[in-house]
Structure 1
């Protein structure tokens, strides 16, 4: 009787272990989702597009637009502007200046443009983490500009678009912070002989925010706003290409 009981226990244990093994095998056979937690700067966003991009020909005056949502949404609202020109949009919504710096080699240098347009700072300011200062934003902008010059890429630094209030973070008063950042950008550009692209002046209203008829939310331009940006951008590109530095 005792031996039958032991045999019964052994049989149950064997079936149980076999079931667990099958369960483990079935789990291991499922395709595991790739973990991109280490890609803080979202290098994967444009990686494949960059790999498929042919090198510029001798006459091509390729321009890379490096920034965040302002640039990313621009191509969505006015794709012809980029499709009809040798312009590459490398904007990623929500990115802060250190993320742009990390992407600079992949999304700018390796694409061998004649010109890079750097638009940075607003997301740093709107985050309100308490760790961001205009000086730290400028350090990242300076590093990008220096990398560009080292690789013989003409530099255009943007005076940021006016913002009176961020809809997602109304505790911040960004208008004067952006004015101060723009002054620092202009002074640095003058010192280093970089071209300045002024997005602030043609879009600003009396509150130092964006003119209501040119924006969707006080931060991002609508199509009419982008059309104004297009004019000043093309003028800045022509100026940068003539710049000997």
Structure 2
């Protein structure tokens, strides 16, 4: 045997063992990531129970740019609009970009409590943990000082809320700063993610002490990031700058909050029909009547008491690149929150065509129909199309509300401390122009203020939002649908 072949035979087992070792390591990482995710979701289900919103609630979502420019509260409202069509709730975006606890405390009376909320959710921490300070050698010491200051002003917010016994309070731990993704530029703020976790732990303890609600977005979203990065190092729910969630990240936030409210497994509708006996065996959150059958057809009237949740397939918001629907890759939202089940048992074997209000929806086998199909996944049903219209109107409302938040940024970051809050005059505009020359974020919001400085314009915006909401709560009412199953 040639010497090279002898050497090759000696190397092969070693190489094989090395490959096996690497594969085991990689598999272990993936399994660990999945286990972390499962443990996190289990913790949510068991430990984070806050009351769902009720009819008439006025909910203020208080926070920084993640709340200000984000969609999570809008996605939650869309859930309530479609799942509880007869329940009227009102949400307020009370976030301002760049805010720390001190700034939230300063504007709390004028920007939050003046809206007469019945529920207040408060999140802070992303900006409180600092940015450029993490370059310094004394970063941890600086963070501790910043944290002491933020806790001081948090207690001011806390005292304001304590004086309102009829207002429900929920503290929300911030979405994470992702230090490990490769999708964004170099990780500039090493240590910031751990600092955010310290704030989350403080918030959890504060909520427990006051017997307030608490929702942790930090640890579950971190677990999802780690799970994704086990196979794709560039994966992140905050892919653009490690800080701000994209639309899919905001949908994950909405999912976590709805889950914390105990709303999982609350079906759109669940209908089961026995074809042989022509009986409605189950009609959960639905009314089914006028059931009839011929040799090849089954027809009945169907009224679901909710609409399916429509998932947006359009990229929304400045700087975003993902869609709300992309969140389905990492959360079981359809399984837990969007089930509109139709099951028909006892059909003769073969394929059946489903029509709703005369519109062809799809073809399924008798076996598939016996198991049940999820109509909420069929985007061409009349009820899903109805829900899409609600979503479109809600997005229009969100766009207008964003203008109000841009206006609030100017009011509280430029005019408030200068005695020009709500001045709506030439002096205020001149001040904004002057500050915008040296502060980039003021310059970015100035274009909105050129219009919003006029009270009449803001009043018109509010009337437009009120009109959109009136239309939403008119359009979101389910209607009776005629369902036909025809054997092909």
Using structure 2 for the length normalisation, give the TM-score. 0.33
Q: Any gaps of 5 or more consecutive residues in structure 1?
A: 1-57, 240-245
| Cα root mean square deviation, aligned | 3.2
Residue equivalent to 2:313: none
- Post-superposition CA distance 1:69-117 (Å, at most 9, x none): 1111224x88564474521111111111111111100121111111111
Alignment match of 1:193 (pick from 186, 201, 211): 211
Q: In structure 1, the residue corresponding to 2:109 is in which secondary structure?
A: helix
Residue 216 of structure 1 pairs with residue 239 of structure 2 = yes
Residue 161 of structure 1 pairs with residue 184 of structure 2 = no
Q: Give the 3 Å change call, closer, same or farther, for CA 232–80 of structure 1 in structure 2.
A: closer
Aligned equivalents of 2:202 and 2:160: distance in 1?
Answer: 19
Residue equivalent to 1:120: 124
Residue equivalent to 1:71: 67
Q: In structure 2, the residue corresponding to 1:124 is in which secondary structure?
A: coil
Q: In structure 1, the residue corresponding to 2:170 is in which secondary structure?
A: strand
Residue equivalent to 1:145: 158
Offset, 1:136:
2.3
- Post-superposition CA distance 1:3-44 (Å, at most 9, x none): xxxxxxxxxxxxxxxxxxxxxxxxxxxxxxxxxxxxxxxxxx
Using structure 1 for the length normalisation, give the TM-score. 0.63
Aligned equivalents of 1:213 and 1:207: distance in 2?
Answer: 5
Please say if residues 238 and 249 of structure 2, whose CA atoms lie closer than 8 Å, have aligned partners that are also in contact.
yes
Offset, 1:183:
1.1
Please say if residues 164 and 208 of structure 1, whose CA atoms lie closer than 8 Å, have aligned partners that are also in contact.
no
More strand by share: 2
Residue 233 of structure 1 pairs with residue 233 of structure 2 = no
Q: Give the 3 Å change call, closer, same or farther, for CA 93–197 of structure 1 in structure 2.
A: same
Aligned equivalents of 2:261 and 2:108: distance in 1?
Answer: 19
Please say if residues 203 and 210 of structure 1, whose CA atoms lie closer than 8 Å, have aligned partners that are also in contact.
no
Q: How many residues in Structure 1 have an aligned counterpart in Structure 2?
A: 181
Please say if residues 157 and 195 of structure 1, whose CA atoms lie closer than 8 Å, have aligned partners that are also in contact.
yes
Aligned equivalents of 1:78 and 1:193: distance in 2?
Answer: 23
Offset, 1:149:
2.4
Offset, 1:181:
1.3
Q: In structure 2, the residue corresponding to 1:65 is in which secondary structure?
A: strand
Please say if residues 75 and 254 of structure 2, whose CA atoms lie closer than 8 Å, have aligned partners that are also in contact.
no
Please say if residues 75 and 251 of structure 2, whose CA atoms lie closer than 8 Å, have aligned partners that are also in contact.
no
Please say if residues 163 and 210 of structure 1, whose CA atoms lie closer than 8 Å, have aligned partners that are also in contact.
no
Aligned equivalents of 1:193 and 1:120: distance in 2?
Answer: 19
Offset, 1:205:
4.0
- The range that moved more, 167-176 or 138-147, is 167-176
- The range that moved more, 94-103 or 228-237, is 228-237
Offset, 1:185:
1.1
Aligned equivalents of 2:256 and 2:64: distance in 1?
Answer: 19
